[in-house]
Amino acid sequence: MSALDLQPSLFDQIIADEYAQKTEEQQALVHLGKDAQQLKAMELLSILTGMSREQAGEVLKRAGGVLELARLPEQAIATFPHVGPKRAEKIKAMTAWAELVSQPATDSPVQIRSPADIANLFLLEMSLLEREQLRVIGLDTKNNVGFVDTVYSGSLNTTVVRIAEVLRMAVIMNCASIILVHNHPSGDPTPSPEDVKVTEMIKEAAGKFDITVLDHLVIGKNRYMSLKEKGLGFS
């Protein structure tokens, strides 16, 4: 085989160059989105607290980002440079307001049609939790939310989750189906083997009461993952 045969063709080189350019453009868009989010956060924090944009940027950098700042207790935020107790109170009030706005109106039933609908209900609030929580959403035959029950707080594993407690409210309310939601404080929504095992256990037990487990969502840092969509625990 000659050296000429080993050299890439002009066509191959063009394709490689186009791929590299697209990759660079995609990375630039990601950085642009992050930069735009950071600038918006600095602007809002500045308006809310009276700090300069530069000071707001320092606060966000020290906290590690917007979500990390929202997760911190008020006393910790108050120790940041340029903040103090009054500004810390305003920052926590802003977080509480955002959580309130994210909740659906209570004058009409909330219907679940997709994992995104579930995420819209819980993503912001549960992204901010410092400990793991397992919540059960009870649904009627039209997939309207009947209740939301926090049944466990702590590491989710098969040794501590009591199936009877998970299903108790659903049985009392005669629900047609339930959805499980829990968070990973680490920020990574990838389901663990224990998450899959717990899902399988609850699904099997719920079936004995003619209750269908429609999905199990894991929430991370402003991200979520559906075990049903991934085919985990729902074979």
pLDDT for position 65:
81
Distance of alpha carbon 23 from alpha carbon 46, whole angstroms: 35
| Better-scored residue on pLDDT, 206 or 35 | 206
For residue 10, give Cα distances in angstroms to 104, 105, 189, 225. 57, 60, 43, 42
12-16, 35-39, 182-186 — which is least confidently predicted?
A: 12-16
Domains of the chain, first to last: 10-100 (1.10.150.20), 115-230 (3.40.140.10)
Residue 133 has pLDDT above 50, yes or no: yes
Percent of the chain past pLDDT 90, that is, above it, reads: 38
83 near 77, Cβ under 8 Å?
A: yes
Q: What mean pLDDT comes out for the span 139-150?
A: 93
Q: What is the pTM of this model?
A: 0.63
| Better-scored residue on pLDDT, 64 or 160 | 64
Phi, psi of 183 (to 5 degrees): -115, 155
Distance of alpha carbon 97 from alpha carbon 21, whole angstroms: 42
